[in-house]
Chain A
Amino acid sequence: MAFEPKILSFFCHWCCYAAADSAGVARYQYPPNNRVVRVMCTGRIDPRFIVEAFYVGADGVLVGG
């Protein structure tokens, strides 16, 4: 079986999260490996969050502002 990575994403409510929403509405296809956490602003993100994500087993972390 091919490797399916677990990716944790932090998306800004006003930018990437909305972009994800409109991508869904427009029926664009994209990989289903992302687990999304919505934050109110990318500035809220701290190195601690990312380390924690890797600690609990994420293969990659994407921050979308």
Chain B
Amino acid sequence: MAEVTKRILEAVGLNPARFRIDWASAAEAPRFVQIVTDFTEAIKKIGPLGEPEGLDKETLKLRLAAARELCTKNRFRAAYGNLARAIKKEGDYSPESIARKVEEKLVPLIKKELLEAEIKALLAKGPVSIETLLSKTGASQEEVTAVLEGLSKRGQVVREGDLWQPKTS
């Protein structure tokens, strides 16, 4: 869970250190205080959300809305569940092996679904050109074209000249 969340934050463009998971038992009040103090200090050092990462408010909102979308997608949830099951079956819970598996199985899916959600959100506001999509999403030409082609194959978008827009039935 922690590894996947960190990868999602990275894909969004946020510092993964903004998320931390730690343990303290009910009897470990001093340790708890230490964890909370350390984390607060770390966040203070990193700064306000989006600012040190160089994301303006609008981009941040767009990216995080896409990430929210991603987390509810059945394809992502199924892949996430399958990975958890595969790890359980193998019984190898070392952080390295989990990180490797997540990188292999989930990161490409996360990136693709995020981009698709971002493009859909941008298209929903009206017709846009590929150039605008490229500058707003920060993805490469090939990636954006691949997503647009996929969407138009499924009949969700149409192209008119240089502009792309959602298909109205």
Majority secondary structure of chain A interface residues (helix, strand, loop or mixed): mixed
Q: Which listed residue (B9, B46, B71) contacts A48, Cβ 8 A?
A: B71
Question: How many B residues face the partner with a CB closer than 8 A?
Answer: 45
Given A3-B48, A30-B33, CB of A63 within 8 Å of CB of B26: no
Q: List 18 A-B contacts (CB under 8 A).
A: A3-B48, A5-B44, A7-B43, A15-B24, A15-B25, A16-B24, A19-B31, A20-B29, A28-B33, A31-B37, A47-B1, A47-B5, A48-B71, A51-B70, A59-B43, A60-B18, A60-B40, A64-B21
**B-side interface residues toward A, CB under 8 Å?**
1-2, 4-5, 8-9, 12, 14, 18-33, 35-37, 39-40, 42-44, 46-49, 61, 64-65, 67-68, 70-72, 80
| Other contacts beyond A55-B67, A59-B49, A64-B21: 19, CB < 8 A | A5-B40, A15-B24, A19-B24, A22-B29, A28-B30, A33-B43, A42-B21, A47-B4, A51-B64, A51-B67, A51-B71, A54-B49, A54-B64, A55-B64, A57-B49, A59-B48, A60-B40, A62-B21, A63-B19
